[in-house]
Amino acid sequence: MINLETLDLSYNDLHGSIPSSFNQLTFLSKFSVAYNHLAGAIPTGGQFLSFPSSSFEGNPGLCGKLISPCVVNNVGLRRPNPSSADSKFGRTSSVLGITISVGIGIAIILAILLLRISRNDVGVPIGDAQDEINRVPELSDAFGPPKLVLFKNADCKDLTVSDLLKSHKQL
- Same domain, residue pair 73 and 87: no
What is the tens place of the pLDDT at every residue in 123-141? 445 556 667 667 666 666 6
Average pLDDT value for the chain: 77
- pLDDT confidence tier of residue 113, bands split at 50, 70 and 90: very high
pLDDT value of residue 2: 76
Q: Mean pLDDT across the stretch 96-124?
A: 85
- Same domain, residue pair 17 and 74: yes
What is the tens place of the pLDDT at every residue in 14-55? 999 998 888 888 888 899 999 999 998 888 877 888 889 899
Per residue in 137-154, is it b (16+ CB within 10 Å) or e — as a string? eeeeeeeeeeeeeeeeee
- Give the pTM: 0.41
- Same domain, residue pair 99 and 71: no
* Domain boundaries, position 113: 83-123
Report whether pLDDT(67) > 80.
Answer: yes
Q: Mean pLDDT across the stretch 147-160?
A: 66
- Same domain, residue pair 92 and 74: no
- Same domain, residue pair 111 and 63: no
pLDDT value of residue 153: 64
- Same domain, residue pair 30 and 60: yes
pLDDT value of residue 45: 78
- Same domain, residue pair 31 and 92: no
The domain boundary residue, chosen from 18, 48, 78: 78
Give me the half-sphere count of Cα atoms (radius 13 Å) on the Cβ side of residue 32: 11
Residue 135 covered by a domain: no
- Same domain, residue pair 60 and 92: no
Of the chain, the percentage scoring pLDDT greater than 70 comes to 63
- pLDDT confidence tier of residue 121, bands split at 50, 70 and 90: low
Q: Residue 79: CB partners within 8 Å, gap ≥ 6?
A: 60, 61, 62, 63, 68, 70, 71
Q: How many domains does the chain have?
A: 2
